[in-house]
Amino acid sequence: MAYLINCPYCGPRTTDEFYIKGDASKQRPDTIGDGTLDTWHDYVHIRENVRGRMAEHWHHTGGCRQWLVVERDTVSHEIYAVTPASTWATSRKGSSTAARKKPARKTAARKATGRKTGGRAKT
């Protein structure tokens, strides 16, 4: 596990300060729209055991209390990007209902952090 997370609000902080919720690749279905029980079952229960690059929701509990999306490599432990969860969610909602496959996450990460692998964002 990576030791330092470059929080876009607080700068590099140790993993001790974070709570990890897990997989951030799923998007909450719209209940009234396309939310069949199957898509909900997938959203709530089905998780890949990823080897390699993975996006996860992390909460900076011992810091700014912001939810972040940490993209990391489960093998090499490299951290690719740390993005505010709100930025992540907004960018995916933009590409929403019809094409909900691969989100434009790199752009989101850069926009949020200023640099490719993080940095101090103005908030």
Partner 1 sequence: MTSFRFDTGGLIDRSSVIDFSFDGRTLTGHGGDTLASALLANGQLLMGRSFKYHRPRSVITAGAAEPNALMEIGEGGRLEPNTRATMQEIYDGLVAKSQNRWPTLDRDFGAINSIASSLFVAGFYYKTFMWPKKFWEAIYEPIIRRAAGLGHLSHEDDPDRYEKAYAHCDVLVVGSGPTGLMAALSAARSGASVILADEHASCGGSLLREREEIAGQPGHEWAAGTLAELAAMSNVTIMARTTVIGAYDQGVFGALERVQKHVAVPDHDVPVEKLWRIVAKACVMATGAEERPIVFGGNDRPGVMTASAMRAYANQYAVAAGRSACVFTASDSGYRTARDMKAHGVHVEAIIDARSDAPEIDTDGVPVLTGAVVTNVDGGKHAMKAIEIDRGSGHETIPCQSLAMSGGWSPVVHLACHQGARPSWDEDAYCFMPPLNNPAIIPAGSANAVWSLSKCLADGAARGEQAAKLAGFKTRKTPVPKAKDETSHTSAPVWWVKQSTGKPFVDYQNDVTAKDLPLAAREGYDHIELAKRYTTSGMATDQGKLGNVNAIGILADATGKDMHEIGTTTFRPFYTPVSFGALGGQHVDAHFRPVRMSPLHNWAADLGAEFVETGLWYRSSWFPRDGDDWLAAMTREVLNTRAHVGLCDVSTLGKIDIKGKDATEFINRLYSNAFAKLPVGKARYGLMLREDGFVGDDGTTSRLSENHYFMTTTTGHAAETMRDIEFAHQALWPELDVQYASVTDQWAQMAIAGPKARDVLAKIVDTDLSNDAFGFLAAKQVRVLGSIPAMLFRISFSGELAYELAVPAGYGEAVANAIMHAGEPYGIGPYGLEALSAMRIEKGFVTHNEINGRVTAGDVGMGRMLSKKKDYIGRMMSERDGLDDPDREQLVGVKPLNPANRFRAGSHLVNLGDKPSLKTDQGYVSSVAYSPMLESWVGLAMLKHGRERHGQKVMLWDGLRDVYMEAEVCDPVFFDPAQEKAHG
Give the position of tokens 């974070």: 18
Which is nearer to partner 1, 29 or 103 (by Cβ)? 29
The burial of 47, by beta-carbon neighbours within 10 Å (0-12 exposed, 13-18 middle, 19 or more buried), is given as exposed
| The token pair that represents 71 in the structure block | 């993209």
Catalog residues that contact partner 1 under the rule CB under 8 A.
1-4, 14, 19, 21, 24, 28-32, 35, 37, 40-41, 43-45, 57, 59, 61, 65-67, 77, 79, 84-90, 93
Shortest approach of partner 1 to residue 100 CB, angstroms? Answer: 15
54: helix, strand or coil: strand
Which is nearer to partner 1, 4 or 104 (by Cβ)? 4
Characterize the bridge pairing of strands 53-59 and 19-23: antiparallel
Which is nearer to partner 1, 85 or 109 (by Cβ)? 85
